Structures are given as C-alpha cells and as structure tokens.
C-alpha cells in the first residue's frame, strides 16, 4: 500500500511539466549548433552561428546592445540593492512607525502594477518633463522596478538574523555604523547577493518597459533580439539565446549556492 | 562597600502596556546579584534598560553614581552575556573575544594577547581559531562569557545564560560562574527564572513579578522569610493555608490553625483577621500529638524523600516531606496523622 | 502569562531614530518614477490627442468615450456600445483565465509531487522548476515559437512518427497564445502551491484515509481546502501578468488573438498612436488588476482572521 502522499499520475504530470519547460530551450540550444543556413534542416554540428554573433554583419549591433544591457543591469542592480538594504533596515529593524504599511505597499508597487502600465506611465512621465528617452531613461526605469526584487531576499534574510548580534556589538562598544559594517552586513551578505543577482537578471530580462523608454537607435539585448525575430527566427538569434540561457543558469546556480552557504552559517 | 548600580523608580512602558512599575534597587560593587522571576515579570526588561537596549520611560539608572540614562549601549561600561550567546557566526572565537577591545581602540597585539588570556581563563585556548558553530553549547557559553569580560566592564549582565544548556552542564557552569565572579571581582547581575540557580549562586536576589520587585534579600532570607504569597509560592514548595490572626503582640502574632490549635509566629506587617500562612513541607514531622491533623491520601516515593499528600479537615491540600530512612514509618493512605511544626516553620504572609 | 514580553527590537539595533533617512531613497525613487508617472498617466487619459503622438492640454472624456461608445464615422450618430475594445479586453481575460487553468492543472500535481519527495531530491526538482523563471522571457517565447511553428521540430517529429499527416497550424491561434502564457508563468503557479503543500500536515490525509475516505475524496475534501491559499496565490501570480502580457500574444498570436498589451503598445507607436486612448486603456487594465488584487487581499485577510 502506498502512503497518503502518493497520487497516481502526479509523477507523469511533474515530468510533463519539466518537458514543457525545457523542450523549447533544449531544441533552440541544439539548433544553435546547426551548421546549415536553413533553420529547418540539420546541417551537422558547427560553431558558425556563435562566430557569426561576434563577427557577422549584425555583430556591432549585438555588441552595443549587450554592452548597454550589461552596464544598465549592473548599475540598476547595484542602486536597487543599496536602496533595498537601507529600506530593509528601516522596515525590519525600525520598529513601528507611521506610514510603515504604506511604505511596504510602495516597495511592492512595481510588482503589482502590470508591466505594460508601468511602461506607458514611465514614457508619459519622461515625455512630460521633457527628458529625451535613451540610456538614462532606461536606467531610471530599471532601478525603479528592480527595488522590490532586491528587497525581498534581503528583507527575508534580515528577518532571520536576531538583533542580539547587533546588540552584542553595540554592547561591546561598536558604534551604529561599526555594528552594521562589521556584524550585520556580513550576516546579511547572502541576502544582499541574492537580491543583487535577482535584480540583475530582472533588469537584463526586461523587454516591455525598455522598449517603451529606450528611444530611437538605443538597443538592449532583448529589444535587439525582438527586432531581429520580427523578420523571422535566424540561427544567430538561437546562438545568442543559448548564451543568455547559459548566463541565466550560471546566475541561478550561483545564487543557489550563496543561499546554501548562508543557511549553513546561520545554524 | 560602594554602590555599583542604583536603580531609582524606573518605569518602562511599551505604548499602553507597562513592563516595569517603578522599580528601585541598588546593587553593591563586587556583588553577585540575581533578578529572579517567571517569564514576563520584567526582569529581562530591567536588564536591557541597564545595558542600554531599552530607554527607561521614567526614573534613572546610575552606574557608580553617574546617571547613564540616554547613553547608547556602546558608551556604557557594562557588558552582556546574551541568552542565546549572540556569538558573531562569521568570526572566529578569538575575533569574537577581541571584538570589544577592537572597538575600544586597543592595538592588535594587545587585544590578541588579552583575548588569548580570557580564552585561557575559560579553558578554550585550543579553540581560538574555530567558528562558533563548531563549538558545543557549553563551549559557546564560555566564549560568550570571555567576550563580555574581555573589555573589563564594571558590571557584567547575564541574561539567562545557562538556559540553553543541559542539566549537568548547567550545574557545572554555576560553580564556574561563581568562581569567575570571585576571581574578577566584577559585579554580576544575573537574570533567571530558575530558583535553584538563583539560590545557589547569588549574594542577593530580587524576586520580581508583574513588573515589581517583590522582595530583595539573601537566598536564606527569601526562602525562609518570604514576605508575600507570591514569593513563598514561587521559591521552593510550600503549603499556603488560610488562618486567623487573633492578636499581634509586638513582633509576634498569635495565630489559630485549622483544627483549633494556636501557635505564635513572626508578625510581619499584618493586622488581625484572615491571613495566609506558609509552611514548608520539610519543616514538619509526624508526632503523636501535634499542631495540625491531616488525612493521608497518597504516599509518593521520591528516593531520598517521601512525599505525603494529605488533606486538612478544612479540605485544603497539604504536602509533607519526610526524609527516607529505615526509621521512617510510612503511614498508610486513609490514616489520620498528627503533624508537629518545627520552630519557625510557619511564616505569616503580608498578603 | 502576566506582564509583557519586551518587543524583539529595542533601540539596541539603533535604526529606530533613522527610519526616515533610510527610507528617503525608496520613497523618492518609487514615488517620483512610478507613483507620479501613474498619476500623470491618469491625467493624460483625460487629455486631447495630438496627431503626431503626444497630447494637447485640453481636458476631455474622448478617450473613454472612444473606448466604450461608437458615435459613427463622423461622430454625429446616437452613441451605441462600441464592442471592439471590450472584446479585446474580454478576450484577454479569457486567454489569461485559460492559461491560469492549464497552469493549475499541470502545476498542482507537479507541486504536490515535488513537496512529497525526500529533501535531497526535492531540492533538485525545485531547482529545475525555478531555472526557467530566471531565463529571459523573450528567449523562452521565441524558443517556444521555434518549436511549435508550422515546419518546426514539434510538427516534424509528430509527422515522422506518423501521428499526424499534415503539420498542426499552431502559431497564430488562441491555443498558441494560451500555451505561451502557460509556458511563461508556470513556475509562478508551482512555487506557491509547493510552499503550501510543504506546510501541509499529512496526518490529516492519514486521518481521512482512516475514516474511509478514498485518495481522491481526501484530495477534494481535505487537501484542496487546506492548501487553497497557495492555489489562489498561484492563480493570481499567473493571471495578473497574463492579462497584460505583450510578448506571448505578439509573437505567438495573430490579428485574431490581439490582446490588451498589444492594443496599448500600438497607441504609443509613431503617428498611428493615440496617447490619451493608450493611457485610458492602461487605466482600465490597472483598475481590473487592482480589483483582482483587492478581492485576493480581502480573502487573504478573512482567511487569517479565521
């Protein structure tokens, strides 16, 4: 007799779930190594489309887009993480204060408002204040919507750290700043890294908002890929996709290990 | 002897709730002073007010004559041993112990030497380079002690430091703590809900309940001469029975026990009428004629002792402890026994 | 228990006095770059459109009028209800609902299965389900399109094993859009249900079995009511982004599967655009989402009060 945890067919469903999630990614990865120019027939294993991404006719465009994407993601994730660390100290360690629940709602607002609405509102705002859309407007928008993504793991981590550590430090003659820098920040680090990585990926991932506020001639990787895909899926796009896939998997693995280490130091 | 800590009418309120209702007490230099009480009695709040983790709402706290209210914890020459130790998990044992010295600006070589000496004192020199997570509970507790003592505080605060240890270790640590206090000559303020801990280590004990100090005194004072029902009931096992005070003559009161027999006992500050009498179960003996009679309901064998669960004619439960020896005659359940009260066994309570 | 336990945070951590300075960056950034823009968007939805994109500062209800009412080609006929945009919104709600349902049907058994694995295997399964969430949505959608297109690998392999003789026309259908939404947001369904099942006390199932309930009756009568908060959270997390989705309908759908996201997007593209109308459509979408979230928050609060 099988236990109450077992339901027939649930294993099949779980496997189906993974197949559905991974089949498209695996297929694209395989086809990115297709030696043929046609996307329908298999022409043997080849790196040619990876070479094409870096040296082909579209290479300068992709390089510029990748540069924009990465620099924006780094700056946006760093800023959002710094803002989120300060906010989490106030929200978790600040006790009760007036406007706390309103602040909580504010932090989570970017998660609740649909992306397309944020995109429209941001475009209207920049146009109203007369700021030309471009790198700066993308950056501002990214910092804004990255805040809750950075905040969530940082606040969760901080919540798990007893305030006795800081009190012990203060008791042992540390100033507020020393107690933060020497004790609390190292303990929060796994949360801070997770928050940064999450914000980084979310920024790198964004298409809709970026597409609204990027202005003419400015591209990030997603908008560049979207532009190419409009004319049909080409093999070089599959090569770029596969590389981005690898970066994502690298990041999630990294964040997973950071969390594991974090859990170990806590107990 | 000079006064280390002087607490004057301290009130602590959280919103509308009051945790401390005007607590006043003073603790002498070199004293091992214990705050004893059940959870929620305000003992930890008082400790945190002394450490500077909480601001007092009213009143003041003076440390060697200087009012320290409003000083941040890092400006108070007072260190704390935390309940769960709060050892910094990302620092080695040595770095933990040296932390306070580092914050005070002691140069690296000096502080390493001092921290090393502290570790020697708690017998943990071999563990200097380990992380706290690699130590046992008892070892962590000793690191916490060494860390709090390293900066040579004027007063050491200990917040239930033994509660996370198992019984054997707890008993060993009691002795070690007391020795450490005598060696260093530092004033210890120890918070606990465990009366045995309090009785064995303290020079003086303050029993607290509901945000108020109920009684301050030596272990003996508190056990033998509780001032009220709370203290009598909280410290040790006791029988509380209702009696009538007939009259008071100076220091002694004439009291009628249930069953009609009259005795005299110290008066405390009471008036004639109904009052409670505390009688410790081990201060009684079986006799042929006695001060009280009771019906035995059950005999519980406790090894060194025998416990008799009896009932007085008034219907009140009454416990008796007899030492277990070959000569002890064990009364059978159902029999009526006469009880003799030892000299000073009965204590009249103020409320 | 008499007396009061001190609040866990005293002034020992020392952040009480500087809550304001710590929160200024958050208030400033989200306030100026999100709250203010949304308010401005509300104002724009009442302005007059300018032909080359942008607005003229004349207040009018024209955008909402255009959305809901049809006054004929020259605007002089008696108004009747305009169905074009209401249809697009209804279709979006329908598509999002179907995608949510598919996610639930696949996601619940998956979440249950993962939560009932031994800890080691569980971590691996969770890891596998989370990875796609971290992968660029655009890339995932493009990959799906590549897989299911007319002469793509899916149709090729189905034909080669003889299951079908002609390629299935999947792309540009409602089904493709639903599949795209399902594929985009499936992890959002699995994770909250997993969290709920992990907390589920399996002794309840054992008690039900002991009292003669079959496996499936136990699922319906005991498990589902207990893990309902997780299921509702999962449904919200899939439904809300699906409603305003842009990529899946745009890349996988066609004219017949036009959804809110594309409608709004169009209003801000070049000279064809109509900013006040786009702002109005965005306002209506946001209102819809806020209604869903409010109902959810109410239900959540009621559940906690119980």
Range picked from B126-130, B309-313, C269-273 for highest mean pLDDT: B126-130
Please report whether residue C103 resides in a domain.
yes
Listed residue (C133, C35, C81, C101) closest to C235, CA to CA:
C101
Per-residue pLDDT at C9: 39
Please report whether residue A134 resides in a domain.
yes
In terms of residue numbers, what domain contains C201? 90-273
Q: Spell out a b/e string for A57-84, using b for 16 or more CB atoms within 10 Å of the CB, else e.
A: ebeeebebbbebbbebbeebbbbbbebb
Please report whether residue A3 resides in a domain.
no
Which DSSP state fits A43? Answer: -
- Confidence label for C13 from pLDDT (cuts 50, 70 and 90): low
**Does A183 reach chain B within 8 Å, measured CB to CB?**
yes
Q: Which of A41, A124, A250 to mutate to test the interface with C (most CBs of C within 10 A)?
A: A124
d(CA C149, CA C251): 11
Please report whether residue C119 resides in a domain.
yes
Pair type for strands B17-28 and C48-49: unpaired
Please report whether residue A35 resides in a domain.
no
Listed residue (B283, B327, B323) closest to B303, CA to CA:
B323
What CATH number does the domain containing A237 carry? 1.10.3720.10
Q: Spell out a b/e string for C50-69, using b for 16 or more CB atoms within 10 Å of the CB, else e.
A: eeebbbeeeeeebbbbbbbe
Chain CA centroid to CA A123, Å: 22
Per-residue pLDDT at A2: 58
What secondary structure does DSSP assign to A95-138, as a single string? -S-TTHHHHHHHHHHHHHS-HHHHHHHHHHHHHHTTPPPSHHHH
Per-residue pLDDT at A150: 93
- Confidence label for C2 from pLDDT (cuts 50, 70 and 90): very low
Q: What is the pTM of this model?
A: 0.82
Q: State the chains in contact with A (3 or more Cβ–Cβ pairs under 8 Å).
A: B, C
Contacts of C96 (CB under 8 A, 6+ apart): C181, C238, C239, C242, C243, C245
- C-alpha angle A24-A29-A32 in degrees, rounded to nearest 5: 125
CB B231 within 8 A of CB B216: no
The string of pLDDT tens digits covering residues C246-295 is 888 888 887 777 889 989 998 888 777 889 999 999 999 999 999 988 88
Three-class HEC string of chain B: CCEEEEEEEEEEEECCEEEEEEEEEEEECCCEEEEECCCCCCHHHHHHHHHCCCCCCEEEEEECCEECCCCCHHHCCEEEEECCECCCCCCCHHHHHHHHHHHCCCCHHHHHHHHHHHHHHCCCHHHCCCCHHHCCHHHHHHHHHHHHHCCCCCEEEEECCCCCCCHHHHHHHHHHHHHHHHHHCCEEEEEECCHHHHHHHCCEEEEEECCEEEEEECHHHHHHCCCCHHHHHHCCCCEEEEEEEEEEECCEEEEECCCCCEEEEECCCCCCEEEEEEECHHHEEEECCCCEEEEEEEEEECCCEEEEEEECCCCCEEEEEEECCCCCCCCCCCCEEEEEECCCCEEECCC
Contacts 24+ apart (CB under 8 A), B251-259: B253/B348, B255/B346, B255/B348, B257/B291, B257/B292, B258/B292, B258/B312, B258/B313, B258/B314, B258/B316, B259/B292, B259/B293, B259/B312, B259/B313
Please report whether residue C7 resides in a domain.
no
Please report whether residue A27 resides in a domain.
no
In terms of residue numbers, what domain contains A193? 57-265
Question: In chain B, pLDDT over 90 holds for what percent of residues?
Answer: 46
**Does A263 reach chain B within 8 Å, measured CB to CB?**
no
Taking residue B170's Cβ as centre, other Cβ atoms within 10 Å add up to: 18
Contacts of B315 (CB under 8 A, 6+ apart): none
Listed residue (A140, A188, A236, B236) closest to C28, CA to CA:
A140
The string of pLDDT tens digits covering residues A179-231 is 999 999 999 998 999 899 889 988 998 999 999 999 888 999 999 999 888 87
C4 to B40: CB separation less than 8 angstroms, yes or no:
yes
Query: Any bridge partners for residue B85, and if so which?
Result: B82
d(CA C219, CA C225): 9
Domains in chain C, number: 1
Please report whether residue C301 resides in a domain.
no
Find chain C residues with C-beta within 8 A of B19's C-beta. Answer: 3-4, 6
C4 to B210: CB separation less than 8 angstroms, yes or no:
no
pLDDT at A31 over 90: no
Find chain B residues with C-beta within 8 A of C6's C-beta. Answer: 14, 19, 44-45, 48, 54
Domains in chain A, number: 1
The string of pLDDT tens digits covering residues C122-174 is 888 988 888 888 888 888 898 888 888 877 788 888 888 877 777 777 788 88
The string of pLDDT tens digits covering residues C182-224 is 988 998 899 999 999 988 888 888 887 777 778 888 888 888 8
**Does C305 reach chain B within 8 Å, measured CB to CB?**
no
The minimum CA-CA distance between C24 and chain A, rounded to whole Å, is: 9
CB C96 within 8 A of CB C242: yes
**Run of H or E residues at C69:** strand C69-70
SS3 C87: helix
d(CA B8, CA B22): 8
d(CA B121, CA B142): 9
For chain C, what is the mean pLDDT? 85
Residues in A 140-179 with any Cβ partner in C closer than 8 A: 140-141, 143-145, 147, 163, 166-167, 170-171, 176, 179
Residue length of chain C: 306
Listed residue (C170, C187, C188) closest to C179, CA to CA:
C170
Residue B336: φ, ψ to 5°: -100, 135
Taking residue B298's Cβ as centre, other Cβ atoms within 10 Å add up to: 9
pLDDT at A265 over 80: no
The CA distances from residue B192 to A107, B50, C172, in Å, are 42, 16, 73
- Confidence label for A158 from pLDDT (cuts 50, 70 and 90): very high
Please report whether residue A234 resides in a domain.
yes
Please report whether residue C110 resides in a domain.
yes
Structural domains of chain B ordered from first start: 3-224 (3.40.50.300), 237-348 (2.40.50.140)
CB C206 within 8 A of CB C64: no
Contacts of A171 (CB under 8 A, 6+ apart): B51, B52, B53, B73, B74, B76, B78, B79, B80, B100, B148, C12
pLDDT at B64 over 70: yes
Query: C29-38, C63-72, C108-117: which range is least confident on average?
Result: C63-72
CB pairs B-C closer than 8 Å: 44
d(CA B220, CA B199): 8
CB pairs A-C closer than 8 Å: 271
> Which segments of chain C does DSSP mark as H helices, in order?
19-30, 36-44, 62-68, 83-115, 119-134, 137-148, 153-160, 174-199, 203-210, 215-218, 224-243, 247-252, 260-266, 275-305
For chain B, what is the mean pLDDT? 89
Question: In chain A, pLDDT over 90 holds for what percent of residues?
Answer: 49
CB C34 within 8 A of CB A110: yes
Please report whether residue A14 resides in a domain.
no
Q: State the chains in contact with B (3 or more Cβ–Cβ pairs under 8 Å).
A: A, C
SS3 C80: strand
pLDDT at A106 over 90: yes
């Amino acid at each position: 007799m099988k236990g109450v945890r077992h339901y027939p067919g649930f294993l099949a469903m779980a496997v189906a779930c993974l197949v559905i999630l991974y089949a498209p990614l695996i297929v694209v990865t395989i086809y990115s190594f297709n030696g043929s120019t046609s996307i329908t027939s298999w022409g043997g294993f080849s790196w040619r489309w990876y070479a094409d991404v870096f040296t082909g006719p579209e290479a300068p465009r992709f390089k510029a887009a990748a540069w924009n994407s990465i620099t924006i993601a780094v700056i946006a994730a760093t800023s959002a993480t710094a803002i989120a660390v300060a906010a989490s100290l106030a929200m978790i360690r600040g006790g009760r204060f007036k406007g706390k629940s309103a602040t909580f709602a504010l932090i989570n607002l970017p998660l609740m408002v649909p992306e397309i609405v944020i995109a429209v509102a941001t475009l209207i705002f920049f146009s109203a204040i007369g700021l030309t859309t471009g790198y700066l407007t993308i950056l501002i928008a990214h910092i804004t919507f990255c805040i809750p993504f950075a905040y969530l793991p940082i606040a969760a981590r901080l919540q798990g750290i007893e305030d006795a550590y800081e009190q012990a430090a203060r008791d042992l003659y540390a100033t507020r700043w020393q107690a933060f820098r020497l004790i609390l920040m190292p303990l929060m680090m796994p949360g801070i890294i997770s928050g940064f990585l999450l914000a980084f990926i979310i920024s790198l991932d964004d298409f809709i908002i970026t597409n609204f506020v990027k202005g003419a001639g400015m591209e990030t990787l997603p908008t560049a890929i979207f532009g190419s895909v409009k004319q049909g899926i080409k093999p070089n796009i599959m090569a770029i996709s596969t590389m981005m896939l690898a970066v994502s998997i690298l990041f999630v693995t990294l964040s997973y290990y950071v969390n594991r280490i974090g859990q170990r130091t806590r107990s | 002897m000079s006064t280390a800590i002087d607490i004057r009418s301290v009130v602590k309120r959280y919103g509308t709730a009051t945790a401390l209702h005007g607590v006043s007490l003073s603790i002498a230099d070199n004293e091992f002073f214990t705050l004893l009480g059940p959870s929620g009695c305000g003992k930890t709040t008082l400790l945190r007010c002394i450490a500077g983790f909480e601001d007092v709402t009213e009143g003041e706290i003076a440390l060697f004559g200087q009012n320290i209210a409003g000083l941040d914890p890092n400006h108070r020459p007072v260190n704390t041993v935390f309940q769960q130790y709060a050892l910094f998990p990302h620092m080695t044992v040595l770095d933990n112990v040296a932390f306070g010295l580092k914050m005070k600006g002691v140069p690296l070589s000096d502080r390493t030497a001092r921290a090393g000496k502290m570790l020697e004192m708690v017998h943990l020199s071999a563990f200097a380079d380990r992380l706290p997570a690699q130590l046992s509970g008892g070892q962590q507790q000793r690191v916490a002690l060494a860390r709090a003592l390293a900066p040579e505080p004027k007063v050491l605060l200990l917040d239930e430091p033994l509660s996370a240890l198992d019984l054997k270790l707890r008993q060993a640590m009691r002795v070690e703590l007391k020795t450490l206090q005598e060696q260093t000559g530092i004033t210890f303020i120890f918070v606990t809900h465990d009366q045995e801990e309090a009785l064995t280590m303290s020079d003086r004990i303050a029993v607290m309940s509901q945000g108020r100090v109920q009684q301050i005194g030596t272990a003996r004072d508190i056990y033998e001469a509780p001032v009220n029902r709370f203290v009598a009931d909280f410290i040790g096992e006791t029988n509380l029975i209702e009696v009538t005070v007939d009259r008071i003559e100076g220091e002694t009161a004439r009291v009628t026990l249930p069953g009609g027999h009259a005795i005299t006992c110290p008066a405390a500050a009471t008036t004639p009428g109904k009052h409670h009498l505390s009688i410790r179960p081990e201060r009684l003996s079986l006799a042929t004629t006695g001060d009280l009679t009771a019906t035995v309901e059950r005999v519980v064998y406790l090894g060194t002792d025998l416990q008799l669960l009896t009932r007085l004619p008034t219907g009140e439960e009454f416990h008796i402890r007899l030492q277990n020896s070959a000569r002890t005659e064990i009364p059978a359940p159902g029999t009526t026994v006469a009880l003799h009260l030892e000299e000073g066994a009965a204590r009249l309570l103020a409320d | 228990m008499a007396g009061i336990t001190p609040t866990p945070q005293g002034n020992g951590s020392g952040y009480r006095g500087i809550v304001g300075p710590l929160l200024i960056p958050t208030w400033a950034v989200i306030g100026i770059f999100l709250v203010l823009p949304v308010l401005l968007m509300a104002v724009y939805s009442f302005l007059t459109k300018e032909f080359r994109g942008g607005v003229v500062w004349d207040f009018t209800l024209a955008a909402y009028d255009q959305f809901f009412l049809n006054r004929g080609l020259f605007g002089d006929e008696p108004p009747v209800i305009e169905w074009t945009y209401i249809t697009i919104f209804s279709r979006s709600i329908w598509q999002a609902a179907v995608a949510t349902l598919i996610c639930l049907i696949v996601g619940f058994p998956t979440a249950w299965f993962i939560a009932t694995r031994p800890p080691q295997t569980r971590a691996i399964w969770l890891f596998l389900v989370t990875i796609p969430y971290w992968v660029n949505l655009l890339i995932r959608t493009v990959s799906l399109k590549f897989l299911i297109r007319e002469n793509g690998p899916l149709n090729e392999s189905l034909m080669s094993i003889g299951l079908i003789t002609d390629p299935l026309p999947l792309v540009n259908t409602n089904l493709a859009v639903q599949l795209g939404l399902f594929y985009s947001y499936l992890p959002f369904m699995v994770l909250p249900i997993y969290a709920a099942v992990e907390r589920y006390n399996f002794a309840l199932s054992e008690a039900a079995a002991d009292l003669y309930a079959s496996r499936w009756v136990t699922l319906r009568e005991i498990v589902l009511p207990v893990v309902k908060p997780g299921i509702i959270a999962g449904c919200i997390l899939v439904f809300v982004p699906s409603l305003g989705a842009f990529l899946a309908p745009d890349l996988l759908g066609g004219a017949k599967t036009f959804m809110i996201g594309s409608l709004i997007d169009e209003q801000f593209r070049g000279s064809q655009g109509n900013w006040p109308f786009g702002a109005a459509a965005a306002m209506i979408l946001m209102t819809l989402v806020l209604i869903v979230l409010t109902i959810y928050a109410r239900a959540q609060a009621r559940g906690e009060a119980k």
